[in-house]
Structure 1
Amino acid sequence: MLPSLRSVAVRPGGSSIVKPNGSDGPHVFVDDLECIQLYAQDHAHLTRSLRLRPGDAFTACDGRGSWRVCRLGRSADTACEPDGEVVFVVPVLPKLTVGYALIKGGRPELITQKVTELGVDAIVPFVAERSVVRWDIERSARHIERLRRVARESAMQSRQVRLPEIGEVADFRCLVSQEGTALAHITGVPISLQHPTILVGPEGGWSAEECTQAPTVCLGDSVLRSETAAITAAALLTALRHGVSSSR
């Protein structure tokens, strides 16, 4: 398991601090840090599931890099009260993206949950040549909305200050045309930040044609299931970005 990683933030005046680490209580997302209003489900989670009481601390975040310490309101009219300045966490570069070919069952949710915990910036489902699963327009919209909810819950649990981007199901050709994109493949070169976007193929593997469309990078010497490969790619990329690991 990777150790907890802290991102440096900036206060007005220049002193540095870290992103939320749990010492100030649970973490929630809100729309506006100046006029904080908790979503009903988040208020219920804080008060019923976590049993916070009036005056107890938690952190609120706008999902775009800014957060502040708050306290649960002491009256029915005040859901929460700010108890600290707004802090902006400087984004860590490069931007990391993990894409995965559509797979069966609840595994897209598992991938989304875990790569969000690890701190990737974007998650991209796509259709590959050998993909068995295909989402029609209605089903795609429903699944993407579900994945965004999973990412939000996972980002709250892991104290992320930015919600990962999760777009519509992408076209493989568009993805590989972007600079810095590589395909996960056991015969590839060692993974590095030269390729901050890693695409994981379907259970049937990449076609010969697809393998010619982008460089390939290796995630290790084991044959991994699709969901394991996506999580491994995220873990390796975030470790490289934070200097926990180095490419050879």
Structure 2
Amino acid sequence: MQRYFIQPEGFSADHVTITGDDAHHLIRVMRAKAGDRAIVSDGCGREAVVVVRSLEGGEVTADVEAWLPPDREPGVDVWIAQSLPKGDKMELVIQKGTEIGAARFIPFSSARTVVQWDAKKEGKRLERWQKIAKEAAEQAHRNRIPSVDSVQSWKQLLKLAAEADAAWFCYEKQDAQELRSLIRSALGKTGRADRPSGEAGSSRDRERLQLLIIVGPEGGFSEREAEEAEQAGCRPVSLGKRILRTETAAMVGLTCILYEAGEMGGEE
């Protein structure tokens, strides 16, 4: 069944109202008619199978047939801080990272970032990134849409890192530690996230383990940035002996974390 995220106010006790692009997709693309079914989520823990009742005035009204458990989110929140890559690679990071299970994306600019960020176009670019995250979350049947932050400076990112339970930055130097051991240390002796998962967007979310992985630009981090990151409490990590592209490193780091957390058949 097709899945859609709608605003929480679109939900009532027994029916939902679908508007905007989602309603257009149902009406014009899916050619939906009364009696058709879809899955609708508010991204905050409510999710249901609904049956279309009417399609009028560019809106779709549907009755709740069955409530679904919000059980498709990882038990640990992984934030990806990605230095702005060239071309459309940021879109790829957001799309694939959402499919894999990232909870938050933090684009940032660092000393060796090649992309010159245009603040005047930031609104449109951020809107596009958020749309990509929404569509990827729908495709992957997730219960919530990852957040996409506005572009941060290096200093702003290091301040945000203090909000995470553990923060690591990908660094190819010899003193970088193996990511696997740091993940296991952060997850505890069980090798997985034991904190209550809670409902997405609820007050219990802070009980979830929040892990940040920082990926540098094509040219990597400068030595000064590495020192500043460590001073801010971030640990340098290695993703192996091979040199990865910046967009590849983000996906590898995310997958390693979720595997060790038991979200992909990893350690129990």
- TM-score scaled to structure 1, two decimals? 0.80
Shift of 1:90: 8.7
| Rounded Cα–Cα distance in structure 1 between residues aligned with 2:20 and 2:83 | 34
Deviation at 1:144, TM superposition (A): 1.0
Measure how far apart 1:75 and its partner are.
Answer: 5.8
Name 1:13's counterpart in structure 2: none
Quote the residue 2:78 is aligned against: 96
Residue of structure 2 equivalent to 1:229: 249
Counterpart code for 1:202: P
Structure 1: gaps of 5 or more residues: 1-24
Secondary structure of residue in 2 paired with 1:83: strand
Change (3 A) 1:199 1:51: same
Q: Which residue number in structure 2 is paired with residue 27 of structure 1?
A: 3
Residue 55 of structure 1 deviates from its aligned partner by: 1.5
User: Which of the residues 163, 167, 173 maps onto 1:181?
Assistant: 167
Number of residue-to-residue matches in the alignment: 223
The CA deviation at 1:28 is 0.2
User: Is the counterpart of residue 55 in structure 1 residue 35 in structure 2?
Assistant: yes
CA 1:190/1:49 → structure 2, altered by over 3 Å: closer, same or farther?
farther
> Which residue identity does 1:136 align to in structure 2?
D
Q: Distance in 2 between matches of 1:233 and 1:27?
A: 28
Report whether the alignment pairs 1:238 with 2:258.
Answer: yes
What are the residue-to-residue correspondences of 1:137-156 with 2, within 5 Å?
Answer: 137-156=119-138
Structure 1 residue corresponding to 2:116, chosen from 134, 155, 167 = 134
Among residues 216, 226, 229, which one is paired with 1:211 in the alignment? 226
> Percentage identity across aligned positions?
26
Counterpart of 1:233, as a letter, is G
What stretches of structure 2 of length at least 5 have no aligned partner?
A: 187-209
Residue type at the aligned position of 1:245: G
> How far apart are 1:89 and its partner, in Å?
4.3
1:40, distance to aligned residue in structure 2 (A): 3.4
* TM-score, normalising length: structure 2: 0.74
CA distance in 1, matches of 2:55, 2:131: 29
Helix, strand or coil at the partner of 1:98: strand
Higher relative CO (Cα under 8 Å, sequence separation at least 6) belongs to: 2
Alpha-carbon contact 1:65-1:89 (below 8 Å) kept: no
Q: Is the 8 A contact 1:69 1:84 kept in 2?
A: yes
Query: Per-residue CA shift, 1:85-110, capped at 9, x if unaligned?
Result: 36444964432101110122111111
Measure, in 2, the Cα distance between the counterparts of 1:88 and 1:108: 28
C-alpha change, 1:62 and 1:227, in structure 2 (3 Å) is: same
Aligned amino acid, residue 87 of structure 2? G
How much does 1:149 deviate? 0.7
Give, in angstroms, the shift of residue 229 of structure 1.
1.2
Name the SS for the 1:37 alignment partner: strand
Change (3 A) 1:107 1:75: closer
When residues 75 and 170 of structure 1 are mapped into structure 2, their CA distance, relative to the original with a 3 A threshold, is: closer
Q: CA offsets per residue over residues 45-90 of structure 1, 9 Å max, x none?
A: 2344344443222110001232111112256485322111364449
Please state how far the C-alpha of 1:153 moved relative to its aligned partner. 0.7
More helix by share: 2
Is residue 71 from structure 1 mapped to residue 43 from structure 2 by the alignment? no
Contact 1:186 1:222 in 2 (8 A): no
- Cα distance between partner residues in 1 of 2:258 and 2:45: 17
Aligned residue number for residue 216 of structure 2: 201
